[in-house]
Amino acid sequence: MRFFGKIRCTKADYYVVEATAEGGEEAGNEEEGEAAAEEKDPDQEEKGTGVNKYTYFVTNSPFSPWKRLPDLAPSHIEAARRIKVLFSGDLERDIICNPFFFGKEKNLLRAQIARITHSTVLVPAGSYRLNEESEREIDEFVPEEDSKVEPLPSTTQAANSNAWVHFNPSILNNCRTMHLDPPEDNGEEGYDPEEAKKAIERADPFEPRLKSICSDGKIKMGRNAMQSSWVVRLVGDKTEYLTEAGKVVCHGVVVVRSLTWPGSFTLYENGKQTTIYVGDGAKFTDKLRPFPLSPPVLNEDPSEFGEFVLPEIKEVSPEELQAQIEAAFEESWGGIDSEGAGNLGVDDVKKIAAEIKAKMSAQEEAEINEEAFDKAFADVEKNDEGNADKQACKTFFVANMAKL
């Protein structure tokens, strides 16, 4: 049994303890009996194996009773990978999110703990070796009596990313650590269960056991900045000392921090190590989501004071509208016809039309309907150069400004 860590919640934090469960172990008390009585997913891994290798107990206070979390089903891991929710501290809370989570907070908590455990528990490289009979199993390395090989690195040697490997098997895309065996016979001619199993493993391959953390994918910290998913630091006294027994020791502490699961730390000093998690149970992601972790609190409807009065809408008479058009025309004409020629070409008249429309609509700029302008301006009297005099233009705008 070990102290897994602490999950920060919105109302009451979770303290988590990890215990080793034996395969086929029977529930020992009423609470475990209730958990065992829950409907079991036929695809979930047995107790003591895979993602259910460990049993977890949680409490909101060290002085409160400990509650056992239920065994984990693949459907809970699949859903947990698609959502991001802050825990509240209430194991029986319904998880309201999109996509929907079919379970309680205790099921989501158990899924996140499994993902953290199988991603962040590390051991020094060389302390374990692959099993000779199966590459999916590992054995603790025990050197021979006369061997001078040290199974554990020194503190200084451990202050390097190459000195650390993953201890637990990774969780596959099927949300288990092992594939389900294909049926012996599916009714098809020429069906071979061994070939079917190989096809399943090719589609969802295993990651190698004791994989170095250096081979983990990098995470995106900015637009173009990529960062290693692990940070390894030697803190404290970095000096090496020689003991009376002739052994070199360092009293500093190696801290291995996960950036993929913020809050996960592995601490190492002279052959002693521990792993602890203190975080909110959420995986780091640089992707923007449609909703924040905690949805915003909606404001109450504003209260209304007194009787609602509709705003007064002033109607403009045709005479007032004509006066406004003529005033805007006179101002714009003076700016365009600065030389006092008394007539303007079609392009300059279009500029005046745009200025009049902007002034009438209280905008800085406005666009006119080019097609309507050309059709209406074709009937305006022009001189030999194709220009129209001031009075003809004024009459044109008064008659056609609404169309433009």
Residue for token digits 């449609």? Answer: 290
Handedness of CA 277, 279, 282, 284 (dihedral sign): negative
CA distance 83 to 100: 9
Per-residue DSSP letters for 289-333? -SS-SSPPPPPPPPPP-S---PPPPPPPPHHHHHHHHHHHHHHHH
Q: Give the number of other Cβ atoms within 10 Å of residue 309's Cβ.
A: 6
The per-residue pLDDT for 306 is 64
- Tell me the Ramachandran region of residue 70: left when phi exceeds 0, alpha when psi lies from -120 to 50, beta otherwise: beta
Domains for the chain: give ranges and CATH numbers. 1-182+194-298 (no CATH), 318-400 (1.10.238)
Handedness of CA 71, 77, 79, 83 (dihedral sign): positive
Residue for token digits 């279009």? Answer: 350
Structure tokens at 197: 């199993």
The per-residue pLDDT for 265 is 97
- 101 with 109: CB under 8 angstroms? no
Q: Where are the beta strands (DSSP E) in 145-263?
A: 164-166, 219-220, 226-227, 230-235, 240-242, 248-250, 253-258
Structure tokens at 96: 């309201």
Its pTM stands at 0.67
- 384 with 344: CB under 8 angstroms? no
Q: State the pairing for strand pair 253-258/343-344.
A: unpaired
The per-residue pLDDT for 173 is 94
The residues of the chain scoring below 70 in pLDDT are 21-39, 146-149, 288-308
Contacts of residue 296, Cβ cutoff 8 Å, sequence gap at least 6: none
- 325 with 317: CB under 8 angstroms? no
- pLDDT by residue (tens digit) across 207-235? 999 999 999 999 888 778 889 999 999 99
- pLDDT by residue (tens digit) across 56-114? 999 999 899 999 999 999 999 999 999 999 999 999 999 998 888 989 999 999 999 99
- 62 with 70: CB under 8 angstroms? no
Instruction: Name residue 334's amino acid.
Output: G
Return the C-alpha torsion angle 87, 92, 97, 101, nearest 10.
Answer: 110
- The values of phi and psi at residue 258, to 5°, are -90, 130
- 213 with 165: CB under 8 angstroms? yes
